[in-house]
Amino acid sequence: MTGKSGGPQSRRSSFDDVEGELLPFLKDGDWATRKAAAEALGKNPQGAVKKELERLLDSEEDPIVKKVIEDSLKKHSIVVGQ
């Protein structure tokens, strides 16, 4: 039964591009929003997400957000600060 919601297939597709949906929040004006996005994206930083986190690490001024990014990259064996 699919109904108006489109069934399981449409529900799964709503998560297909979660990284793409979250990436813009790394540029938000609110540090807490950037922190939350960095935490979510940092769970598995690969490809474009990894590049964006590395870029943000170089430009981020808030020490809390910067620490979240550093910890995430280190946790996934991505060298930071070189």
Residue 3's Cβ-side half-sphere holds a number of Cα atoms within 13 Å equal to 5
Rg over alpha carbons for the chain, rounded to the nearest Å, is 15
Query: In the block, which residue shows the tokens 């990259």?
Result: 73
The mean pLDDT of the chain is 81
Q: What is the dihedral of CA 71, 74, 78, 82, to 10 degrees?
A: 90
- Higher pLDDT among residues 20 and 2, named by residue: 20
Distance between CA atoms of 51 and 57, rounded to whole angstroms? 10
Confidence of residue 79 (pLDDT cuts 50, 70, 90): low
| pTM summary value | 0.72
Structure tokens at 27: 């540029």
